[in-house]
Structure 1
Amino acid sequence: MSKESRMRATINQKLTEMGERERLKEILRARLTECGWKDQMKAHCKEVIKEKGLEHITVDDLVVEITPKGRALVPDSVKKDLLHRIRAFLAQHAS
């Protein structure tokens, strides 16, 4: 396992153990809803299903199809805010 992978695992573990991961997920959900991301993704899902046909697409196929656009549509301000919150948490709980 690379040094970066070990660091990510450690950070993820600390966030999870202290309940911060769930809190950050709730903040992210709220921010994505506020900025209209959720509505954009819902509309994109409907387009993909209409294009492919409901009988010809699985949930897994849909996830693969919409993930790139979903990631691209997350506003930079939301990404920066989340990163800032993670850094602040880690600085506060550094051991």
Structure 2
Amino acid sequence: MRASVSRPPTPDADEEMEPEPTLQEIINIKLIESGEKERLKELLRERLIECGWRDELKAQCRAFTRKKGRGNITVDELVRTITPKGRAMVPDIVKAELLQRIRTFLMTDSS
């Protein structure tokens, strides 16, 4: 005699539906579709270069690499170590400018 196969219960039709996108996902989609995300990324690049953030981050990468030794470090390890520092170093004025640009985009887009 053969044993029955244990199967998970069949999901209801309601459970098969994809979850509603979050507000963050909706905003991201609008930014991408309009091309605004690329414009914001370019603005961020410019502002970070202007304020010296990029040079400071390069210096931190070099210092970390010297400390650990070139042969003893992976790119992943460098990224894991430097990313939190880099995020913390972004000037508040740059963050505020980007946030304002996103708000303006959303206000004009929803009209």
TM-score (norm 1): 0.93
Alpha-carbon displacement from aligned partner over 1:43-74 (angstroms, at most 9, x marks no partner): 00000100111111111110001011101110
For 2:91 and 2:19, the matched residues in 1 are separated by 30
More helix by share: 1
* Structure 1 partner of 2:41: 25
Q: Which has the larger radius of gyration?
A: 2
Gaps of 5+ in 2: 1-17
Matched to 1:48, the amino acid is: F
> Sequence identity, in percent?
55
Alpha-carbon displacement from aligned partner over 1:15-42 (angstroms, at most 9, x marks no partner): 0000000000000000000000000000
Q: How many residues align?
A: 94
Q: Does 1:48 align with 2:67?
A: no
SS of equivalent to 1:81: helix
In the TM superposition, what is the alpha-carbon distance from 1:2 to its structure 2 partner?
8.9
Which runs of 4 or more aligned residues in structure 1 lie more than 3 Å from their structure 2 counterparts after TM superposition?
Answer: none
